[in-house]
Amino acid sequence: MWSELRGLKDEIDFGTPPRDGSPVTLDIDDVTVTVPAGSSVMLAAAKAGRAIPKLCATDMLEPFGSCRVCLVEIEGRGGFPASCTTPVVEGMKVKTQTETLQRLRKGVLELYLSDFPESEMVEGWSEFHETLKAEGVASHPYGKGGANHFDAPVDASNPYFLFDPAKCIVCSRCVRACAEVQGTFAITIAGRSFESKVVASQDQPFFESECVSCGACVQACPSHALVEKSLFEGEYKHAEPAEA
């Protein structure tokens, strides 16, 4: 029903929700596409078959623009705007794949990997892993032994899902899903910079918080930091960094 209401296909995530405005025609990588006014460049690119990599964006939530993976080039504009938060304009010409964009995206993804357990990169099947593969990123150049969150304890208090902070990329999708989809506002981001982390209510275990176990946060999480317990046989093994 949710997909029917949004007019979207289950197998395609357009990155941002659809809009209901007058037609706007633009070029994405020399492909002409027409979408309603108010649509994002990301959605237009997906409609044109030129999907743009993303981590914080999903079409079940309003655009947020935090991950900086969906950068594009727009003719006549400086910089590299986030396609999820950039609205389409009549006659706009967009490039989604250039050497500069590939270099910028690679750098951003390598920064994410600097605080992501290498042991979790092997045979991973999350959206984060698929994005890494699509962009050809398998390691990071920052060496080992730096500050990380690998020792943060797993919260397995909820009977249906668990939260492994070591795999969290702090994209805020779970926070937004809890607010926008469920309306519970049980999850937030506490701290700033490196200390930023996902917490339930007043930094409580999920099962003791205001969480209602709806699963919206689990569905939204791109890195499987929040993941259903039923996907694992036996006890969940905490993410461990690879040996130096």
For position 3, what pLDDT does the model report?
A: 42
Percent of the chain with pLDDT over 70: 93
Q: How confident is the model at residue 235 (pLDDT cuts 50, 70, 90)?
A: confident
For position 5, what pLDDT does the model report?
A: 40
Query: Is the pLDDT reported for residue 2 higher than 80?
Result: no
Topology (CATH) of 161-229: Alpha-Beta Plaits (3.30.70)
The pLDDT tens digits of the residues spanning 127-158 come to 999 999 999 998 888 877 788 899 899 999 99
For position 8, what pLDDT does the model report?
A: 53
For position 243, what pLDDT does the model report?
A: 55
* Mean predicted confidence (pLDDT) in 172-183: 96
Nearest Cα to 165, choosing from 210, 214, 226, 216?
226
Domain ranges of the chain: 10-144, 161-229
Q: How confident is the model at residue 237 (pLDDT cuts 50, 70, 90)?
A: confident
Query: Is the pLDDT reported for residue 236 higher than 90?
Result: no
Query: Is the pLDDT reported for residue 239 higher than 70?
Result: no
pTM of the complete model: 0.90
Beta carbons of 199 and 217 less than 8 angstroms apart: no
123 exposure class (CB count in 10 Å sphere: 0-12, 13-18, 19+): exposed
The residues, any chain, with a CB within 8 Å of residue 111's CB and separated by 6 or more, are 140
Rounded-to-5 percentages of helix, strand, coil across the chain:
25, 15, 60
* Mean predicted confidence (pLDDT) in 76-93: 97
For position 140, what pLDDT does the model report?
A: 82
Kindly report the CATH number that applies to the domain delimited by 10-144: 3.10.20.740
The pLDDT tens digits of the residues spanning 15-61 come to 999 999 999 999 999 999 999 999 999 999 999 999 999 999 999 99
